[in-house]
Amino acid sequence: MAPSGHLKANALSLSDAIVLGLASSAPAQTMAVALPALVAAVGYAGLLPIACAFVPMLGIALAYQRLNRWEQSAGATYTWVSKALHPYLGFVAGWMILMYYTLGTTSMTVPAGIYTLQLLAPGMANNKLAAVAVGSLWNLIVTFLLLAGIEIAARLQRVLAVFEYLVLFFFAILGIRALISGHAAARVTPAWFSIAGAGGMKGFSAGILIAVFMYSGWDAAIYVNEETKDKEANPGRAAVSSVVILLFVYGLITFAYQGVLNRSALQSSAGNALAVIAQRLMPGPSSLLLSLVVLLGTVACLQVAIVSSSRLGFAMAKDRVMPSFFRIVHPRTGSPWAVTLFMGGINLVFLMLTAFEAGGTREVLSNIASALGIIASLFYALTAIAAVWQYRAVLFKNAGNFVLGGLWPALGAISLLTIVVEAVLTRAVPTSVLWAGLGATAVALPIALGIHYIGKVPFLSDPRQQQIQLQTRRGRFRGEF
């Protein structure tokens, strides 16, 4: 039983946190959405942006690990940026993350609907309205399952993860065999591993944004830190472990899958790409295995997205920058049920808007992936900056602090911000996508001003959080390497 108004402590283990981080990134679901977009951006040079995005992403994960040792809060980036830099920046970061998960669920539930129809009613798999309707049903199911408690969600995630990775790796072996035997649509050439083969800097920048989207989600392990055993250490370990595992998983799957179909066939099957790839690699009913694993991986990812957004909303409500009912917690399960239901409902609204958006499924999912890449790049970079600033007094204490606590997170932040600027300058993504990513971020500032001056919220009136920082400088520099 959780104390009144508190999440349930010690409900999750280190392995639970890692599984949640991997489930939030959802390799099967992510590849179903991102692989056609990645091939459209960089051709068959998909390994290059995945490998390059790993370097800054690991630096960001190290920043998360360090900050989590300083303070364990379900708000994570929102809390850390608020206390280390400025409450306004923290609010913007929290807003970005909420938008990320809200938009992200659209990129999850559409494929969930498509793959359900692929299994049950193949003739309707390309009907966007039908896919949205079925995806909405999945959204409702996972939302209500979460009300039973985080432990049940964690057990479900373990089972789904084992099945997902076994099937993905099985088809990866088939894909590599097709490449080696020459039965794939494309042949491996040096262009697969060069920026020129990726279409130059413009294509490479677009590819990096998509790769950032592919990695993003590992930080779900951090949002459950108040509910994890050894909460000072385990969530950070889970975040770093998730990023390293994802490098291997995405690298292998991209290499094995991207050349199975020709580019036009792959792009025309967006949202359904892995089913088409599976049919090419193993014709017959067995190919439906990959459809099933994408469906289950998508459902798992959708569940973790609601977990993360509800925990963030709970933390923001504590500071009165979100509605007070977000703080309601079930006394037996420790579940923040009110904010969980609210976030599930918001997801449904965005999903319904997607159903009536102009353009086909491919354009919708590709644009969402790029917009999420922009938003994730911004809040990840802001977190890394907060980590470097918060621990600036001990960066030169030893080599580990300097490299792992300062240099690497700083380079990660600079790299991600540079990628966003490069994408803007080279128009690597459509103007509508830039507006979706940057516009969704910019709207946070007037909202924060309204909360501060109209709502008279004390949290936003204390810009430097002096008492917290003074306490930290007096010896609470946890997180040294």
Query: Tens digit of pLDDT per residue, the chain (481 long)?
Result: 444 467 888 889 999 999 999 988 878 878 887 888 898 889 899 999 999 999 999 999 999 999 999 999 999 999 999 999 999 999 999 998 988 887 777 666 777 787 788 788 888 877 878 888 888 888 888 888 888 888 888 888 888 888 989 999 999 999 999 999 988 888 889 989 988 888 888 888 889 888 988 898 899 999 999 999 999 999 999 999 999 999 999 999 999 999 898 888 887 776 678 888 888 898 877 777 887 888 888 888 888 888 899 999 999 999 999 999 999 998 888 889 999 999 888 888 877 776 665 555 555 555 666 677 788 888 999 999 999 999 999 999 999 889 988 999 999 999 989 888 887 787 766 776 676 667 777 888 888 888 888 888 887 775 554 444 444 444 444 555 5
DSSP-derived letter for residue 477 is -
Pick the CATH number of 14-473 from 3.40.50.10320, 3.50.50.60, 1.20.140.10, 1.20.1740.10: 1.20.1740.10
Residue 279 exposed, middle or buried by CB count within 10 Å (0-12, 13-18, 19+): middle
Query: Angle at which helices 87-120 and 337-355 pack, to 10 degrees?
Result: 60
One-letter amino acid at 379 equals: F
Q: What is the rounded distance in angstroms from the CA atom of residue 98 to the CA atom of residue 314? A: 12
**Which among 143, 108, 155, 158 has a CA at the least distance from the CA of 336?**
143
Task: Compute the chain's Rg from CA coordinates.
Answer: 21
Distance (Å, whole) CA 234 – CA 241: 10
